[in-house]
Amino acid sequence: MEKTVYSLCFMCSVRCPIQVTVKDGQVTFIEGNPKVAGIESSLCPRGSAGIALLYDAQRLQSPLIRTGERGSGQFRKASWDEALDTIADKLKAVITKHGGQSVALTERTNLATHVSKTFMKAIGSPNHFTHDALCKGSVNTACRSLFGLTDAQIGIDYKNARHIVMYGRNLLEAIAVKEVNGLMDALAAGAKLTYIDPRVSITATKAHRYWMIRPGTDLALNYALIHVILKERLHDAEFVERWVLGLSELQAFVQPYTPEWAEKETGIPAAEIVALAREMSKDKPAVVFHFGYRGAHHANEIYLRRSIMILNSLMGSIETKGGFFFKKGPGEVGKKPARKLTEQKFPEIKAARIDKVGTKDLPLPDPDHGVPQMLPQAILNEDPYPIKALFVYRFEPLGSIPDSTLTKKALDKLDLIVTIDVNASDTAWYSDVVLPESVYLERTDCIQQANGQKPQMFLRRQAVPPRYDTRDWAVIAKQIGERMGIGQYFPYKDTEELVRWQLEGTGFTLEDFDKSGFVAYTDKQILWDRKEGLKLKTPSKKIELRSSLLEAAGFSSFPAYAPMPVLANGDFRLITGRNALHTHVSTQNNPYLNELLSENVLWINTKRAAALGIKNGDLVTVASPQGSGTIKAFVTDFIHPEAVFMLHGFGHENKLAARSYNKGVSDALLQANITDKVGGSPALHDTIVTVKPV
């Protein structure tokens, strides 16, 4: 018996469409969905390792209840009923004593996030967190300050672009298949790629121009680019006149930021900065200054992300072929999106968020996501109320939130930690109850509302029944909810029934997804009229270079550039990034991915290494005020002398994940927990380290 199932990958958060072949109840092959344009069977290495995850005996297989000290790793297997009863009993005790607001839930944004939010609303807590702010909170806020729309509501038409500029956006290693192929198509059609990064990534090796910028000075480069553009009138005057608010203020602001000034700060020759500005202008509006994926580098992150989108606005590369476009939802064609459980009526929650988002301390970050790196301090400070229970769903606070020592201290204060995951994560190791989720090939998931030039819906479908004693989160949340007396908010018996409920009113049924895995609301691409039709959501309905959002909250739209401090002798700036073989902190134990890349190494500049007596392959100690670790040195000319680089997500501490246990060093162990208080991202590149031979 052979069958084909159209579904969505979940080896990372991108959700690429896949086609799964099932023979006699076993998944035998996964490829990208051949019926989706831009995918056409392509699958990245993590996606290709999906079957290895399915059959991995080291993934979580049954509920676990802790028997030893927290962090001792002593667990016993439990039945689902016992595990869920244990959680409910402890949760009731916490809520009785401290109120519903004392419960927090963290997760990576996923298709069932509306279920998690429903759970939190029903138990009366405002403290739902997604991983988003850790990655790109400031990109989100930057886009809202300019367009009134988030970064998630803005897409890029790579294929038709003539010139793309990337600031460390390592698009060919941090792979999203459709984006990669869009870029490759553009390059094949003659587009230019300018890549700016203190480190030579694979993306750099395909670029037409590469600048090894001094770490942390991208903003200086952009202010100089804006200076040149406005001085030489290289902008799209018609577009700017119609849509942009605050041009004269911007012009006055960038006056001192000449290319010669920027050369001193960035190390990029002034003449080359001028040349890029002129080239981009020549190809406008089909140009892209890429706004990044992860935008979490420095404490002034929002201003870098704003400067990038200001450059695009000046080029008129907004809502145009080969530029940025606003994603269109089903409302554009008079249709309805899938329903979400959060549309139900919930009791009012009076408590403010514990991370202070939405208060005067942190007014601008998106309350839809929260700021998870504030959580450790919030738990420790109990200001203005304690957090006593934490649910961790498909998220790794210990590996993702900077300063894992601080995070551990916070975990110690909790009465209840529950981890729901596929992997034996480090946080699972510290949990009281661990609930195993079915892997994506074993479960149907909630609808993906895929807005874009054509609004569509995609669906993750169960290909095979669960191999172990695992369940899916929508069902787990419902079953905990029933025990907590809030079962009425989960009106379904399984996820498939929930999906049918979601589809009510959309004009589509579950069966409509059988043929190709997705449905389209229209077959036409929708572009708004650039002259009159941009539906911007700022108060002025314009692109607000001078931002009412920022200024109403007491922040400047154009704060003066603060030079990157010159490092003391022997210090390095720690920068982190991605590789095609791993996703966040979640794939390091996958047998095939681990085989190809089992530990991270420390990139260090050849001259700096020689001065320290470090040779390629030597073990070195890398240390910050937060922590230190032993790691192999990778000595190379292809990194800026002021920086050292390591891949994110290694140095795992859960012994149940034996392949990745104790391999490499965790960047979160070294990083300082610093937040861009305007935008919401952590400043992951504001940690200074020393390096010594072991």
The residue ranges that bind another protein (CB under 8 A) are: 28-32, 40-45, 47-52, 172-173, 175, 177, 180-181, 184, 188, 200, 202, 204-210, 580-581, 591-593, 595-596, 638
* Strands in 493-586 per DSSP E: 518-520, 543-544, 571-577
Q: C-beta of 608: minimal distance to another protein in Å? A: 18
Phi first, then psi, for residue 134 (nearest 5°) are: -60, -30
Q: C-beta of 393: minimal distance to another protein in Å? A: 27
Q: C-beta of 224: minimal distance to another protein in Å? A: 21
Residues sharing a CB contact under 8 Å with residue 586, sequence separation 6 or more, in sequence order: 12, 394, 396, 422, 423, 425, 649
Q: C-beta of 311: minimal distance to another protein in Å? A: 23
C-alpha dihedral (516, 519, 525, 528), degrees to nearest 10: -150
Q: Are strands 209-211 and 518-520 parallel, antiparallel or unpaired?
A: unpaired
Minimal CA–CA distance to 346: which of 84, 130, 94, 100?
A: 100
- In the complex with another protein, the residue whose CB is nearer, 19 or 102, is 19
Q: C-beta of 30: minimal distance to another protein in Å? A: 8
- In the complex with another protein, the residue whose CB is nearer, 212 or 574, is 212
- In the complex with another protein, the residue whose CB is nearer, 50 or 517, is 50
Q: C-beta of 519: minimal distance to another protein in Å? A: 24
644 close to 691: Cβ distance less than 8 angstroms:
yes
Tokens representing 29? Answer: 């092959």
- In the complex with another protein, the residue whose CB is nearer, 316 or 577, is 577
Q: C-beta of 222: minimal distance to another protein in Å? A: 22
Q: C-beta of 173: minimal distance to another protein in Å? A: 8
- In the complex with another protein, the residue whose CB is nearer, 315 or 581, is 581
* DSSP structure class, residue 374: G
What is d(CA 164, CA 203) in angstroms, rounded to the nearest whole number?
12
Helix (H, G, I), strand (E, B) or coil at 163: strand
303 close to 465: Cβ distance less than 8 angstroms:
no
What is d(CA 208, CA 213) in angstroms, rounded to the nearest whole number?
15
- In the complex with another protein, the residue whose CB is nearer, 266 or 479, is 266
- In the complex with another protein, the residue whose CB is nearer, 214 or 546, is 214
DSSP string covering 48-60:
HTHHHHHT-TTS-
Half-sphere exposure for 68 (CA within 13 Å, toward CB)? 7
Q: Is the link from the previous residue into 384 a cis peptide, with omega within 30 of 0?
A: yes
Q: C-beta of 51: minimal distance to another protein in Å? A: 5
Residues sharing a CB contact under 8 Å with residue 189, sequence separation 6 or more, in sequence order: 159
């138990």: which residue's tokens? Answer: 123
- In the complex with another protein, the residue whose CB is nearer, 175 or 480, is 175
- In the complex with another protein, the residue whose CB is nearer, 33 or 538, is 33
- In the complex with another protein, the residue whose CB is nearer, 202 or 562, is 202
* DSSP structure class, residue 438: P
Tokens representing 115? Answer: 């279920």
Minimal CA–CA distance to 129: which of 407, 348, 329?
A: 407
Q: Are strands 543-544 and 244-245 parallel, antiparallel or unpaired?
A: parallel
Give helix then strand counts, H and E, for the chain: 22, 27
What is d(CA 312, CA 689) in angstroms, rounded to the nearest whole number?
35
Q: C-beta of 630: minimal distance to another protein in Å? A: 24
Q: C-beta of 520: minimal distance to another protein in Å? A: 23
- In the complex with another protein, the residue whose CB is nearer, 49 or 549, is 49
Q: C-beta of 441: minimal distance to another protein in Å? A: 13
- In the complex with another protein, the residue whose CB is nearer, 83 or 207, is 207
- In the complex with another protein, the residue whose CB is nearer, 173 or 497, is 173
Q: C-beta of 578: minimal distance to another protein in Å? A: 12
Q: C-beta of 192: minimal distance to another protein in Å? A: 12
308 close to 165: Cβ distance less than 8 angstroms:
no
Tokens representing 32? Answer: 């990208």
Q: C-beta of 6: minimal distance to another protein in Å? A: 15
620 close to 694: Cβ distance less than 8 angstroms:
yes
Helix (H, G, I), strand (E, B) or coil at 143: helix
87 close to 416: Cβ distance less than 8 angstroms:
yes
Minimal CA–CA distance to 576: which of 294, 372, 301?
A: 294
Tokens representing 605? Answer: 């500049």
Q: Are strands 2-8 and 416-421 parallel, antiparallel or unpaired?
A: unpaired
Give the relative orientation of helices 113-123 and 473-483 as an angle to the nearest 10 degrees: 10
Q: C-beta of 55: minimal distance to another protein in Å? A: 9
404 close to 627: Cβ distance less than 8 angstroms:
yes
- In the complex with another protein, the residue whose CB is nearer, 139 or 183, is 183
What is d(CA 528, CA 534) in angstroms, rounded to the nearest whole number?
6
- In the complex with another protein, the residue whose CB is nearer, 241 or 595, is 595
């979640």: which residue's tokens? Answer: 586
- In the complex with another protein, the residue whose CB is nearer, 189 or 611, is 189
Q: Which helix (H) or strand (E) holds 367?
A: none
